[in-house]
Structures are given as structure tokens and as C-alpha cells.
Amino acid sequence: MGLHCPTLKTVNVEDIPRVIGLVGPAGAGKDTVAHMLHSGWDYTPIALAAPIKAFVEELLGPGKHRRAYQLVGDAIRGENPYAFIQVVQQTVTYHAACRWVITDIRYPREAEALGAFGPLWYIEAPPAVRQARLRARDGAVGDLSHPSEAVESLRDSCTVVIQNTGSMLELADQVGVHLRWQWHD
């Protein structure tokens, strides 16, 4: 069964933000919301972690290497705290005709810099639900004590909070409601 997303006819296309940033803990549903924005409103997903994942998977092969992603990201941020932010800023600025959904904002510096492009949406789900999703997706929950997992402090800086606790249809409806609510009076 495909995802149900409200159509473009329900929202004035000119009023939709060009960039939406997604914030939330692992397993909350950020990638699912990004997929809904992509399939329903033609947003192109872009991830801050994409260069990290490409590099790690080139060395270690395809798979889930969460700890390696975290270590490489930490090393690069240690050299240049804005490295990944700059890549996304340049892409979003250069491709100004596109709509973008940034799928993985995890640090205050990222929220501040990328929030200037458009609204931040916080995606949340109860810990037990997130852990079950991580087990299903990755085969294990993994170490969630890394600083990149401490996103709760960013919740108050987000324009929208989406509770991802129901069905895919309910989640898609929330996404559509927030697009209409934020940009239609």
C-alpha cells in the first residue's frame, strides 16, 4: 500500500516553504516525513550526514555503521564545525529553484544556521516506539548516548512538532495539515 499524502491542489504551491529542516531523535520518523514531503510536494531530501555515510561505506562496505558515522563526523566537525552545514547551504543556495527537506539536523549550530532557510519541524515518538523502529531498521538499537542523539534541546527552536505515534496515514495527514496551517491564514 502506498503512502497517502495530500495533493498539491490542497496547498497553494507558492506558499510552501522552499526549505524545511527535520529535527528529532533516531527512529522518530524523520526519513519517513522526508519521503512524504518528497512524494507529495516534490521536496528533494538532503542529509548533513550524506558525505559521512558515503565515506564510511566506501571504506567499510554497505551497511549500518552508526558508530563509525559518529566518529568520522566528530573528527570532521573538530577540524571545521561548519563543514557539513556549508555543503548543505551551498547546495540549497545554488539550486534555488528546488524545494529541499534537510533530513537530519542534530546540533544547535546546524539548527541555527539551517533554520535561516526555512522552518524546522521536530519529529518525535515515544522511546519504546523509536527503539522498536531502530531494531527493525538496523537490527539493533545501538548507542544513543552520542551527542548527536541529544536533540531534545532543539525542540523549542522548531516551528512545528509532529507526534509520530499513529499510522502512516495519520502522519501524512499531520504533514499536510502543518503545510496548510503554517502558510495559509
CA angle (100 as vertex; 31, 90 as ends), nearest 5: 120
Rg (CA), the chain: 16
Q: Quick check: 7 pLDDT over 60?
A: no
- CB atoms under 10 Å from CB of 179, counted, come to 22
Q: Quick check: 24 pLDDT over 80?
A: yes
User: What does the DSSP assignment read for 94-136?
Assistant: HTTTSEEEEEEE-SHHHHHHHHTTS-EEEEE--HHHHHHHHHH
Kindly report, residue by residue over 143-181, the tens digit of the pLDDT: 777 888 888 999 999 999 999 998 999 999 999 888 875
Inter-residue contact 72 to 115 (CB < 8 Å): no
The interaxial angle of helices 66-79 and 50-60, nearest 10 deg, is 120
Average pLDDT over residues 132-145: 79
Lowest mean pLDDT among 29-43, 44-58, 171-185: 171-185
Q: What is the pLDDT at residue 72? A: 93
Q: What is the grid cell recorded at 128? A: 519504546
Instruction: Give phi and psi for 34, each to the nearest 5.
Output: -60, -40
Q: Where are the domains of the chain?
A: 17-183
CATH class held by domain 17-183: alpha beta
| Type of residue numbered 177 | V
Half-sphere exposure of 5 (CA within 13 A, CB side): 21
Q: What is the pLDDT at residue 96? A: 87
Inter-residue contact 92 to 46 (CB < 8 Å): yes
Q: What is the pLDDT at residue 140? A: 75
Report how far residue 20's alpha carbon sits from residue 29's, in angstroms, rounded to the nearest whole number: 15
Q: Quick check: 4 pLDDT over 90?
A: no
| Type of residue numbered 11 | V
Average pLDDT over residues 108-120: 93
Q: What is the pLDDT at residue 12? A: 58
Kindly report, residue by residue over 70-110, the tens digit of the pLDDT: 999 999 999 999 999 999 999 999 998 899 999 999 999 99
Report how far residue 100's alpha carbon sits from residue 118's, in angstroms, rounded to the nearest whole number: 10
Q: What is the pLDDT at residue 13? A: 60
Q: Quick check: 65 pLDDT over 90?
A: no
Q: Quick check: 183 pLDDT over 50?
A: no
